Structure 1
């Protein structure tokens, strides 16, 4: 009889203990589930934000590429035009020649006969 009472008291202690442990485990599982859902939501939000940022960066890159192409075209045109301009040395030579040539000081043939 003592053994039966000892067995019953042991079983009596085990059942509430196991119920408490089961509740603790269920509680932890629910918390983990909530955390996992929150992490999933955050992951989706981050993915959407990153996709939007990536799309914006691609648009900016396209704009920059077009601007660079226009700039390169302008520079090629400008460098082609620069070769058509006279150098400073050439202008100095022409200036000296113009100073040496004074058309107003030339005498006409009619003026020589007089």
Structure 2
């Protein structure tokens, strides 16, 4: 019996040890699975951020290129503005053309014809 009594506590200790060992192994397996899942999520998130960063860099480069083109275009427009007439200058030209009124002026042929007609009249009267 004494051997049986010593055997009984030992087997109960071994059974308890085995149960605890199984629990620890299960916890370790769960922790390993969680660590793998976290690692996969981290890699996925890193790839997403790299892709987003790359896309953002492309967009920034494109925007910078468009800004440079706009600056060149604005400079060209500003340079061309100097070649346009101002409203006051146009008003001056309009007044000058109204004073000149080229339609009321006689052409050289008309003047020559009028002189010839006047001379013909004078010669016919004499």
Is TM (by shorter chain) over 0.5?
A: yes
Deviations for 1:31-74, whole angstroms, at most 9, x for unmatched residues? 10011011111211221222122112211211111111111100
Where 2:85 maps in the other structure, the secondary structure is coil
CA distance in 2, matches of 1:21, 1:57: 53
Task: Between 67-76 and 8-17, report the one with greater CA deviation.
Answer: 8-17
CA distance in 2, matches of 1:36, 1:84: 72
Report the 3-state secondary structure (helix = DSSP H, G, I; strand = E; otherwise coil) of the residue aligned with 1:66.
helix
Aligned to 2:122: none
Corresponding residue number in structure 2 for 1:86: 85
Distance in 2 (CA, whole Å) between partners of 1:89 and 1:104 is: 24
- With the length of structure 2 as denominator, give the TM-score of the two structures: 0.74
The whole-number CA distance in structure 1 between the counterparts of 2:18 and 2:103 is 124
Q: Distance in 2 between matches of 1:66 and 1:25?
A: 60
2 CA distance for matches of 1:91 and 1:81?
17
Equivalent pairs, count: 112
Shift of 1:29: 0.2
Give unpaired runs (5+ residues) of structure 1. none
Superposition RMSD in Å: 2.5
Structure showing greater radius of gyration is 2
Using structure 1 for the length normalisation, give the TM-score. Answer: 0.81
Pairs within 5 Å for 1:1-114: 5=5, 7-106=6-105, 114=118
**Any gaps of 5 or more consecutive residues in structure 2?**
119-126
Give the secondary structure class of the aligned counterpart of 1:44.
Answer: helix
